[in-house]
Amino acid sequence: MEAARPAVAAAPESKAASKSFLPPVDVYEDTQTLVLKLEIPGVKLEDLDVQLESHTLTVQGQRKLEAGLPQESLGRVLAGEEWTWPQRPVVRPPGARLPDTPATTLATRTVDGHRFDLVSYLDTAGGRCIAIDRDGRRGASACDIQVDEQHLASAAMTMVTRGHGTAAIYGRVHDSVTDLYAIMKNGERVDWAIYDDPRNQERYFAVIADSQALADIVAASPTGSTSMKQFFGMWFSKPPSPGPSRSRDVAADAEPGLRGGSSTEGG
């Protein structure tokens, strides 16, 4: 599952193993800043090139792999998975979600035959995280999300295709929030559930909807409300130039709402 994100690219690795990749990206707001979090294990800070131009953020980097890495292992390495080469295991950095990390499924929704799970877990650094897993494949995580009485909600977003199609907006709400709803461009209000997570002791939500039909997502408490529409331009921005989709769009014609429930899995 790929997120709608600023342009993110990777430079070729080396002649021995040259392959570009698009890393998972979390986008969320804390009380003071807008945070973009990229998972790029194996890339040094000095090898990153970050540029902001015409409201487009471009991040390029180069990951240098040992010569002789088996081709069949390359995809797993680029995805940040654990691997062994040649003598010792190379472990993902602190803050990772490992294959045996216990995860709690807070809610499930099926759209056009595709399953979306809102899951929560503690990462290897103890961070309180959530993700949207699609068809059993792990989605980008949002961890230690900050909210307060002035900022009632904060969220990340992920989608299969940039700029159009179904988007999953997921995040945390403050304890005072009583209502979480989407406002569609046709004026309709669609209420969405808030889930109390027993593991992380936080309250989470997920909105699965057509990005082109959404006008706003609002978290409301007895004393105020927080709108998320200011992020829509960045979340749902179209690619700089047209090109073939990496994956087919997910249809957005299912009824709103996640099926609640709580189940624990081993990864």
180 and 51 inside one domain: no
Task: Give the count of domains, the chain.
Answer: 2
Domain closes at, from 90, 113, 144: 90
Check pLDDT > 50 for residue 185: yes
Within a domain: 74: yes
Dist CA 57 CA 47 (whole Å): 17
76 and 132 inside one domain: no
121 and 51 inside one domain: no
Within a domain: 96: no
46 and 129 inside one domain: no
Within a domain: 18: no
Dist CA 239 CA 5 (whole Å): 9
In a 13 Å sphere around the CA of 100, the CA atoms on its Cβ side amount to 1
> Which residues 6+ apart lie within 8 Å of 237 measured at CB?
4, 6, 55, 162, 163
Check pLDDT > 80 for residue 203: yes
Within a domain: 16: no
pLDDT at 99: 87
141 and 254 inside one domain: yes
pLDDT at 20: 58
134 and 242 inside one domain: yes
pLDDT at 257: 43
Query: Among candidates 139, 144, 138, 170, which has minimal Cα distance to 157?
Result: 170
Mean pLDDT to the nearest integer, 50-57: 74
Range name among 59-68, 140-149, 175-184, 203-212 with the lowest pLDDT average: 59-68
212 and 150 inside one domain: yes
pLDDT at 22: 67
Domain closes at, from 47, 67, 90: 90
Three-state secondary structure call for residue 234: helix
232 and 132 inside one domain: yes
44 and 65 inside one domain: yes
Check pLDDT > 50 for residue 83: no
Range name among 95-99, 102-106, 144-148, 187-191 with the lowest pLDDT average: 95-99
Within a domain: 12: no
Domain membership of residue 82 as a residue range: 25-90
Check pLDDT > 80 for residue 265: no
Contact call for residues 115 and 121 (beta carbons, < 8 A) = no
Of residues 121 and 43, the one with the higher pLDDT is 121
80 and 108 inside one domain: no
Range name among 87-96, 106-115, 204-213 with the lowest pLDDT average: 87-96
